[in-house]
Amino acid sequence: MVETVTLDELDRGLVHALQVDGRAPFGKIAAVLGVSDQTIARRYRRLRSAEALRVVGSVDAMLLGYASWAIRLQCAPDAAGPIAAALARRQDTFWVHLLSGGTEVACGTTARTPEERDTLLLQRLPRTGRVVSVSAHSLLHLYVGGPVSWPGAASALTDDQVGRLRPDPPAVHDGEPVVLDDGDHALLAALSLDGRTGHAELAGITGWSESTVRRRMDRLVGSGVLFYDIDIPPEYLGYRYEARLWMSVRPADLASVGAALARHPEVSFAAAMTGPANLMAAVACRDEQALYRYLTERIGALDGVAHLETAPVIRTVKRAGTVLKP
């Protein structure tokens, strides 16, 4: 059974610090927070073992030319759970949720090639038993998510503390396109499970020397292909009610509405996409009443939103990289 934890002020400072620099040494974080290295290491291990916090190494799919899709499945009664679990086991899926009354599954997927896209969207999903309907929408632009971190997790540190934690700028990229080889894919797969994996372990995984691992990671970060983020269930930060929003926005207002969502601490993900609903957002609120106020006061005040669909998250089956325990 996964331990239930409550985050105190120091834990929240650690969360914010790792959002600033996911691979910051514990000694550096401890100095900024005014505690010992051992205290920070102990706090991190506790949160990590309780599945309350994880640093994730992610790739900028759009920068690599990969296609990202948002998928919605309507399932027969009692079928959504097994279908969500099957999707969660795939390496190309993330953020797998059961929505609404438990008959809808939503997830994201990234396809490196048209063949990978077609295999999932045109062959696997339509032939899955007890799937009533499938809709897939290509993500066109991210406002929150990917390299743009969720602002709701970044409220514990002062600007001075953030400045002391911010990593040195990476070496200037030479402008040449980054081509990933088998070693890179192994490296990125390991970092997607634990962004703080040590250089020695990564060397064993890739077959490279530690110095080569460091150089390659620096190049991937410098090119923007690799970035680090935190994966934390919103309830640990006091946001106990999650929902997915699909909005139809006038094209002339799409950029301004997306930029406004990026400033809302409730919004952990927002993207422009294809389809009748051209803007999707993931929101986390304190409770149902807070969601009501958010929809009526914040979303309702945005010019250009012509239609809104809301679906509460019933259960999260998979977050950024790992399948969650039921």
Are 220 and 226 a contacting pair, CB within 8 Å?
yes
Average pLDDT over residues 196-223: 95
Confidence of residue 3 (pLDDT cuts 50, 70, 90): low
Arch. (CATH architecture) of 144-154+237-312: 2-Layer Sandwich (3.30)
| pLDDT of the residue at 310 | 96
pLDDT over 70 at 209, yes or no: yes
| pLDDT of the residue at 1 | 39
Q: Output 122 or 63, whichever has higher pLDDT.
A: 63
pLDDT over 70 at 172, yes or no: no
| pLDDT of the residue at 129 | 72
pLDDT digit string, tens, across residues 236-251: 888 999 999 999 999 9
pLDDT digit string, tens, across residues 133-171: 889 999 999 999 877 778 777 788 999 999 999 988 776
Q: For 247, what's the count of Cα atoms within 13 Å in the CB-facing half-sphere?
A: 27
Average pLDDT over residues 199-210: 96
| pLDDT of the residue at 65 | 85
pLDDT over 80 at 122, yes or no: no
| pLDDT of the residue at 2 | 44
pTM: 0.84
pLDDT, averaged across the chain: 89
pLDDT over 50 at 20, yes or no: yes
Least confident of 16-20, 21-25, 50-54, 250-254: 50-54
Least confident of 154-163, 197-206, 207-216, 309-318: 154-163
Confidence of residue 4 (pLDDT cuts 50, 70, 90): low
pLDDT digit string, tens, across residues 230-289: 988 888 888 999 999 999 999 999 999 999 999 999 999 999 999 999 999 999 999 999
pLDDT over 50 at 39, yes or no: yes
The percentage of the chain sitting over the pLDDT mark of 90, rounded to a whole number, equals 63
| pLDDT of the residue at 116 | 74
pLDDT digit string, tens, across residues 83-119: 999 888 888 888 999 998 789 999 999 887 777 777 7
User: Nearest CA to 43 among 10, 18, 19, 20?
Assistant: 10
| pLDDT of the residue at 190 | 94
| pLDDT of the residue at 173 | 64
